[in-house]
Amino acid sequence: MRPVGNTFIKLSSVTLLALSVNLVGCQTFKNLTNKNVDTIETAEKSEQGYYSDAIAQIDKERYTQAIEDLNNLRTFYPTGQYAEQALLDIMYAQYASGTYETAAASAEQFIRLYPSNPQVSYAYYVRGVANMQGSAEGIKLFKTNQAKRDTSYYRLAFANLQELINKYPNSPYAPDAAQRMTFIYNQFAESELTAANWYIKREAYVAAVNRAKWVFQYYPLSESVPEAIAILAYSNQQLGLTDLSQDYKKLLQINYPNWLTSDGRVKLNTKADRTWLNKLTFGQLGRASMKDASVADGQYSGATKTQMIYNATQLRLPSANTAGAPNAEAPLAAPTSRGGLRLGEISKDSADVNDSN
């Protein structure tokens, strides 16, 4: 078909305009980056060079630059000798820089891509620890709105750490994972009792009883069981259910006498023996090296670590959608800066409550 009129002239104009835009764009990129467009698709360093520079940046706590070098290494040398180690270091640098969700995502990627890597248990561990920290924005919300705080990160972390100790019980990261699981489990239970005490202060004893029973049903291995019994004894006494209250007092007398006064009254909001929480220090997350021996061949010595891991395997969290779960009307626990939970504001002005009957 023959061109008509000024078609060729119009097409030529469009072509020239597009070409000029492209040239200007290339020149602008070169001016901004001091790099030629033709060279950005090629590596600027050797694989060893990228890795050495990245580790030097990590040692100086310059994590952003380290992550950039490690990502470049994996981009230009995806099957190189440092590719897998680079991803391990990426997740460490992301965690160390406080980008926890990104670190968890990198750990998930490592687990998916390299399931037979000797250090795969490290990736499981980082995923759980990072999710335990949760979202930085979420922590800000928790501090300002305790009643609506989201526990999904803790649930996810618990499941992540549980998967680690089930798959790799001999991993060097298993004991700390078990310790963190126990901590999360106990904090969920303590959160219920925080709410129960909130109800007691408002003389809502039926609601307090329900919260305490919830601990018995879903957190029977928690440190909160003695206080739950005390709340049941006290609340049932206030409701006029004397016989039931006496039964709970007998349980306290036999098993937890420190929750009763010398004349048999129930003590609430006392400082229970939770020194393990105050002294608890989690393992510090460090870098993992491909040069380490396979964790599958590791053996633990001593009964303490073995028992800790076994105890953690017995822990279960109730589903967030469990029927009959208490509502969130009362203030629950809010996270601290160390990734744990602390009692809500009601504990600040709550005096000891003694059974007067």
Tokens at 101, concatenated = 């969700």
At 109-127, the pLDDT tens digits run 999 999 999 999 999 999 9
Q: Which amino acid is at 186?
A: N
339: left (phi over 0), alpha (psi -120 to 50) or beta: left
Could you tell me which of 110, 47, 119, 118 has the C-alpha nearest to residue 82? 47
- The DSSP code sequence of 268-317 is ES---S-HHHHH--PPPP----TTSPPGGG----SHHHHHHHHHHHT--P
Given pLDDT bands bounded at 50, 70 and 90, which one contains residue 144? very low
- Between CA 208 and CA 248 the distance in angstroms is 15
* Residue 175 or 322, more confident: 175
At 253-264, the pLDDT tens digits run 999 999 999 888
CA 139 to chain centre: 11
Overall residue count recorded for the chain in this entry: 357
What average pLDDT score do residues 277-304 get?
53
Given pLDDT bands bounded at 50, 70 and 90, which one contains residue 289? low
**Helices (DSSP H) in 77-173: which residue ranges?**
83-96, 100-113, 120-133, 136-144, 152-167
Tokens at 238, concatenated = 């206030």
Domain annotation for the chain: domains and CATH numbers: 118-354 (1.25.40)
pTM above 0.85, yes or no: no
Could you tell me which of 230, 232, 235, 248 has the C-alpha nearest to residue 201? 235
